[in-house]
Structure 1
Amino acid sequence: MRVSTSELQQSSINTVLDQQSNLLQIQNQLGTGRRILSPSDDPSGATQALNLDKAVKTSEQYQRNNEQAELRLRLEDTVLGETSNVVNRIRELTVQGANASQNQESRQAIAAEMRERVDELQDLANTDDGRGEYLFSGYKTDVEPFVREGEGVQYRGDQGQRDTQVGPSRRIDSSHSGYETFMDIPTGNGDFQVSVNEDNEGRARLANEEVIDDSVDFNGPYEILFEEDADGDMQFEVVDGDGDPVLDENGDPVAGPYQDGAPIEFDGRSVTFEGEPEDGDSFSVDSAPRQSLFQTVDNLIEAFDSRADDGADRAKLETEIYEALENMDAALGSLNLTRAETGARLNALESELRANEAARLDLETELSRVEDLNYAEAISRFQQQQAGLQAAQQSYAQIQNLSLFNYI
């Protein structure tokens, strides 16, 4: 085989260039700390690193979602706590207004503070998360949820609850709708409610209403009627919606002489009145409706403003105060339940945060194993490559002087 001088020199140059390229590759690896600088360096490892890097970024996004959901839930918990404080203050004012020493003028002064408090409730219910998104508007986060229209506060949001992806297979609700929190609240004892007839002229007032046998279905509405008999004694009778007598478990009508403070029992329920009714007075008994917290306070303000100090109006006011206190207790119970759900969600977020953090650490460790450089091994290769380049350069210097003309 014949090898020309030019071919020999070109081969030497190629060897030097290859050695320089290899040395540069190791230099870049040492400079970046990464073993894989391009997919061609390790196609399988590059694919694995790409998938691991994607998984790390996804885990980091879950963490950011978690932090945002936690911010909303903690803010919601604070708002609910402040709301409970305001409702408790209104309840204190209600008890104060129920005192026999209060007159219509002083009750109107109490009603004035209640108006300020109900405005405060509306402001709390319209809290946003600092980014212009309302906490209690459901999915309509850009819509102010509670507005006063006419004589009452209306809800303009929806009943959705925003949820957030905080893990590969975990979504957690990060809000409660304003409808369930402030609008859809049970009244009375949650089962039935007694209301006073506006035409009543007596001093009878509601003193207690309770369920004594929850296995019996409520079949109301009913009406409790008071009438004087021929001897002038006050009698009561319970009738159904058609005006027919309600029968007890023995098949006898629920009726008899009225006794101040004695319970009237029917349909597994018990209603107690105090004070003396007038002939023709009546009270309605119906399933407990659901009512907004704002409406409860508005009704109470109206009662404090309008009820006079005479016997009949005073008795009606005391019945309305009893109902308002029950409704506020139901509202406080509902707020506490919502806060408990919020706390449970915060605990779930904290648990998911720890799980995501552990998963991210594992992913980063594996990613480091796949793409990070082993410095000790790389430095050893760098030194070997450097020695190889020096040898190639020295041999080229020798080979380039090999020419037949040097010996002629």
Structure 2
Amino acid sequence: MRVSSNSQYMLGTYGLQTKQAQLNHLQEQLSTLRRVVRPSDDPVAATQAVSVAQSQSMNSQQIKNAGMAASQLAITDTALQSASTTIANIKTLAIQAGNGGLSNENRKAIQNEMRERAKELIGLANTSDGSGNYIFGGTRKDVAPFVQTGAAGATYQGDQQRQEVPIASGRELPITEVGNDIFTPGLWTTLASLDTALTQGPAGSATYSADLQAVLAGLDKGLATLLAGQASVGGRQQEIDSLQELGESMSVQYASQMSNLVDLDFAKATSEFQMAMTALQTSQKTYAQIGQLSLFNHI
């Protein structure tokens, strides 16, 4: 069988191009540190990597959401803790107001102090997060949820829904509160009643003592409702802590899966690159020598 010079050149050129392409691919893998640079490198691994990447992205977003929710709930918890202290202080003032030996000036001082504490409570009920969004207005975050009425009362102008964020697969967590459920209308009515009683005093109202007892009962009820809301917030904080830990663990697992699917075995790839380089150089030398083979070289 005769092999023409043209066939030899074509075979030699094809061999060089194949080895050069292999070398280029190995060089691309080494530069990216990825075994699967394009889907054709490993279609099965590439498809699985897309699925893992989607899960990875969703998990990362949920971790971010959980962090944001944890921050907001921490603000809510602090506000409720302060509010419970304020209500307790108002209760102390109500108890002091029941002292029969108080002068009108003493009672007036108690009333002024009570009004300041009421304003403080309204301010806490209008707490906002770091972005200026109110947290006790339900989903109506751009308007202060409570407006003062009279000297010590307030009315609610938020809505009855809570904003929720996804923090895990199939789990959305409320991060705002319906203020009317925590700072109840009964509470503000109680404060208004206390202010009225202090204005009238024992001389102006035959039911002064009974009114103060009703105020104390109303304050206890309002405080109990607020503390129940705070307990709910605490439960969600614990859930977030657990889910954040789970999310971080899943993040490590996804990274490991992705690495197993597409990452490069650097030592193996380096060895293959050196072998491919040697093979290409040898082929180039052989091709050059074949190119010099001619009958005219022997005449």
**TM-score (norm. length: structure 2):** 0.94
Deviation at 1:302, TM superposition (A): 1.8
Deviation at 1:406, TM superposition (A): 2.9
CA contact (8 A) 2:164 2:173 kept: yes
SS at 1:96's partner residue? helix
Deviation at 1:381, TM superposition (A): 1.3
CA contact (8 A) 2:136 2:145 kept: yes
> 1:129 and 1:375 mapped to 2: Cα distance?
48
**Partner AA of 1:93 in structure 2:** L
Residue 296 in structure 1 maps to residue 190 in structure 2: yes
Deviation at 1:150, TM superposition (A): 6.0
1:318-333 matched pairs, under 5 angstroms: 318-333=209-224
Aligned to 1:253: none
SS at 2:102's partner residue? coil
Aligned to 2:161: 160
CA contact (8 A) 2:94 2:216 kept: yes
1:26-105 matched pairs, under 5 angstroms: 26-105=26-105
**Partner AA of 2:56 in structure 1:** V
Aligned to 2:175: 174
**Partner AA of 1:169 in structure 2:** G
Aligned to 1:397: 288
> 1:352 and 1:322 mapped to 2: Cα distance?
45
Residue 335 in structure 1 maps to residue 226 in structure 2: yes
Deviation at 1:162, TM superposition (A): 2.0
Deviation at 1:144, TM superposition (A): 1.4
1:167-246 matched pairs, under 5 angstroms: 167-184=168-185
Aligned-residue identity in percent: 35
Deviation at 1:6, TM superposition (A): 3.2
Deviation at 1:314, TM superposition (A): 5.1
CA contact (8 A) 1:138 1:159 kept: yes
Which structure: larger Rg? 1
Measured at CA, do residues 314 and 102 of structure 1 come closer, stay the same or move farther in structure 2, by a change above 3 Å?
A: farther
SS at 1:294's partner residue? helix
Residue 368 in structure 1 maps to residue 259 in structure 2: yes
Cα deviation per residue 1:352-401 (whole Å; 9 max; x = unaligned)?
11222222222211111001111222122112211211111111111111
Cα deviation per residue 1:174-200 (whole Å; 9 max; x = unaligned)?
23210101125xxxxxxxxxxxxxxxx
CA contact (8 A) 2:139 2:163 kept: yes
**Structure that is richer in strand per residue:** 1
SS at 2:154's partner residue? strand
**Partner AA of 2:283 in structure 1:** A
SS at 1:340's partner residue? helix
- The unaligned stretches of length 5 or more in structure 2 are none
**Partner AA of 2:94 in structure 1:** T
**Partner AA of 1:95 in structure 2:** I
**Partner AA of 1:109 in structure 2:** A
Q: Give the 4+ runs in structure 1 shifted more than 4 A.
A: 149-152
> 1:146 and 1:326 mapped to 2: Cα distance?
23
CA contact (8 A) 1:104 1:305 kept: no
> 2:2 and 2:45 mapped to 1: Cα distance?
44
Deviation at 1:2, TM superposition (A): 4.6
> 2:270 and 2:236 mapped to 1: Cα distance?
51
Query: Relative contact order, CA 8 A, sep 6+: which one is greater?
Result: 2
**Partner AA of 1:9 in structure 2:** Y
1:120-159 matched pairs, under 5 angstroms: 120-149=120-149, 152-159=153-160
**Structure that is richer in helix per residue:** 2
**Partner AA of 1:80 in structure 2:** L
Aligned to 2:5: 5
Aligned to 1:358: 249
> 1:165 and 1:136 mapped to 2: Cα distance?
20
Aligned to 2:199: 305
- The unaligned stretches of length 5 or more in structure 1 are 185-290
CA contact (8 A) 2:167 2:243 kept: yes
Deviation at 1:140, TM superposition (A): 0.9
> 1:57 and 1:347 mapped to 2: Cα distance?
24
> Which segment is superposed worse, 145-154 or 52-61?
145-154
CA contact (8 A) 1:104 1:304 kept: no
SS at 1:400's partner residue? helix
Cα deviation per residue 1:105-163 (whole Å; 9 max; x = unaligned)?
32122111111111111111111111121100101112211112567422111111222
Give the paired residue count.
298
SS at 2:292's partner residue? coil
Cα deviation per residue 1:45-83 (whole Å; 9 max; x = unaligned)?
111111111111111111011111111111111000000
**Partner AA of 1:22 in structure 2:** Q
**TM-score (norm. length: structure 1):** 0.70
> 1:314 and 1:144 mapped to 2: Cα distance?
36
CA contact (8 A) 2:139 2:176 kept: no
Deviation at 1:318, TM superposition (A): 0.9
Deviation at 1:39, TM superposition (A): 0.9
